[in-house]
Amino acid sequence: MDHSGAETPSIVYKVFTFKDKKTNTQDSLSVSIPEVLDPHYGMYVWPCAVVLAQYLWKHREELRDKTVLELGAGVSLPGVVASRCGAKVFLSDGAETPLCLENCRRSCEANGLREVGVSSLTWGEVSPELLLLPQLDVVLGSDVFYEPQDFEDVLLTVAFLLRRNPRAQFWTTYQERSADWSIEALLHRWDLKCVDVGLDSFDADEAELAGSSLPGNHSVLMMVITARTEDTSCDT
């Protein structure tokens, strides 16, 4: 019984099992993600996270021994999958949402991941935590483009990280919530470029993924953002 006066959150564990559908390999990976029964954004898994985690699963050979940072991780399904695939992982969420940072830690615990670093990183802020990060190979962001007023802050953080790690890539999934939203001008402003990645190229063009019906009929898209070295800002 909790006598501290603080309410104990109600937690439900969701299991995601990634498999190779179109090959004969027996490989599979199961991870368990604790979700908190709370309406805040970072307390449960979003459809974008399942799609990004599927991309990581399909690129698991590339991830081994790479250093990976997840932004706006919430309950951290992609970061947990990256870690289970052999990457050295850092999870982050906003400094003003300590409960989300707790979720990052709880997800690591649920999967026996003791080596994963968790720190607060607020988009658009150059903080000591941001400056202390090691060299990165991949930055992840699942459903971080959901509030147009935050788009530039997200890209500012990404641009900062890609400038410090010129060979790194930002792998991100987003939900198309309005045809009016675009990051093209912001990519240009921050010297970034993007390539759209078809969901069919990594077997994610399905309503059910990893045993989860979360993707459903949501319009989830994926892109890879890198530092711009040529004139084009978006190779779609």
Ligand X SMILES: C[S@@+](CC[C@H](N)C(=O)[O-])C[C@H]1O[C@@H](n2cnc3c(N)ncnc32)[C@H](O)[C@@H]1O
Q: Which residue's CB is nearer to ligand X, number 34 or number 94?
A: 94
Residue 60 amino acid letter = R
Give the tokens for residue 195. Answer: 């390539």
Quickly list H helices, 77-132: 77-84, 98-110, 128-131
Cα–Cα distance, 33 to 235 (Å, whole number): 34
In whole angstroms, the minimum distance from the beta carbon of 139 to ligand X comes to 12
Nearest residue to ligand X by CB is 42
Q: Which residue's CB is nearer to ligand X, number 63 or number 121?
A: 121
**E-assigned strand segments in 113-219:** 117-120, 138-142, 169-175, 192-197
In whole angstroms, the minimum distance from the beta carbon of 229 to ligand X comes to 27
* 3-state DSSP assignment of residue 207: coil
Binding mask 117-156 for ligand X (x = CB under 6 A): -----xx------------------xxx-x---x--x---
Binding mask 158-197 for ligand X (x = CB under 6 A): ----------------------------------------
How far is CA 45 from each of CA 153, 164, 172, 178, rounded to the nearest angstrom? 22, 30, 15, 21
* 3-state DSSP assignment of residue 67: strand
**For residues 37 and 9, is the Cβ–Cβ distance under 8 A?**
yes
Q: Which residue's CB is nearer to ligand X, number 72 or number 215?
A: 72
In whole angstroms, the minimum distance from the beta carbon of 1 to ligand X comes to 30
Would you tell me which residues interact with ligand X (CB under 6 A)? 41-42, 45-46, 48-49, 72-75, 93-94, 97, 100, 122-123, 142-144, 146, 150, 153
